[in-house]
Amino acid sequence: MSYTTQMDAARKGIITKEMTIVAEKEKMDVNVLMKKIAEGKVVIPANKNHHSLDPEGVGEGLRTKINVNLGISKDCPNFDSELEKVRMALDMKAEAIMDLSSFGKTEEFRKELIGMSPAMIGTVPIYDAVGFYDKELSDITEKEFLDVVEKHGRDGVDFVTIHAGINKETAAVFKRNKRLTNIVSRGGSLIYAWMELNNKENPFFEYYDELLEICAKYDITISLGDACRPGSINDATDASQIKELMILGELTLRAWEKNVQVMIEGPGHMPLNEIVANMIIEKKLCHGAPFYVLGPLVTDVAPGYDHITSAIGGAIAASYGADFLCYVTPAEHLRLPTIEDMREGIIASKIAAHAADIAKNIPGAISWDYEMSKARQQLNWERMFELAIDPEKARRYRKESSPEHEDSCTMCGKMCSMRNMNKVMEGKNINILREDD
- 348 with 379, same domain? no
- Annotated binding site for substrate, which residues? 69, 98, 127, 163, 185-187, 226-229, 265, 292
1 occurs within a structural domain: no
Phi, psi (deg, nearest 5) at residue 221? -80, 130
Task: List binding-site positions for Zn(2+).
Answer: 269, 333
Sites in the chain below the pLDDT cut of 70: 436-437
CA dihedral 189, 190, 193, 197 (to 10 degrees): 180
Q: Which residues span the domain enclosing 406?
A: 365-425
pLDDT tens, 5-62?
Answer: 999 999 999 999 999 999 999 999 999 999 999 999 999 999 999 999 999 999 999 9
CATH code where residue 250 lies = 3.20.20.540
Count the Cβ atoms, other than its own, within 10 Å of residue 148: 20
In a domain, 436, yes or no: no
Which of 330, 359, 388 lies at the terminal end of a domain, its last residue?
359
Amino acid at 329: T
Q: 148 in a domain, yes or no?
A: yes
DSSP sequence for 54-97: ----EETTSPPEEEEEE---SS---HHHHHHHHHHHHHTT-SEE
Number of compact structural domains in the chain: 2
* Amino acid 412: pLDDT: 86
- Domain termination site, one of 359, 389, 412: 359
pTM listed for this prediction: 0.94
pLDDT attached to residue 102: 80
| Residue-level pLDDT at 130 | 84
Looking at residue 329, what is its pLDDT?
Answer: 97
Per-residue pLDDT, 436: 65
297 beta partners: 269
Residues 262 and 373 reside in one and the same domain = no
In a domain, 432, yes or no: no
Q: How far apart are CA 31 and CA 21, in angstroms?
A: 13
Q: What is the pLDDT of residues 107-147, one digit of tens each?
A: 899 999 999 999 999 999 999 998 888 889 999 999 999 99
| φ/ψ bin of 5: left (φ > 0), alpha (ψ from -120 to 50), beta (otherwise) | beta
Shared-domain flag, residues 384 and 299: no
CA dist., res. 194 & res. 430, Å (int): 74
Which residues line the annotated binding site? Answer: 69, 98, 127, 163, 185-187, 226-229, 265, 269, 292, 333, 409, 412, 416
My answer on whether 413 and 301 are in the same domain is no
- Integer Cα distance of 90 and 68 in angstroms: 10
Number of H-type helices and E-type strands within the chain: 19, 10
The pLDDT assigned to 205 comes to: 98
Annotated binding residues for [4Fe-4S] cluster: 409, 412, 416
Kindly state whether residues 415 and 323 are assigned to the same domain. Answer: no
- Name every residue whose Cβ is closer than 8 Å to that of residue 26 and which is 6 or more positions away in sequence: 33, 57, 61, 62, 63, 363
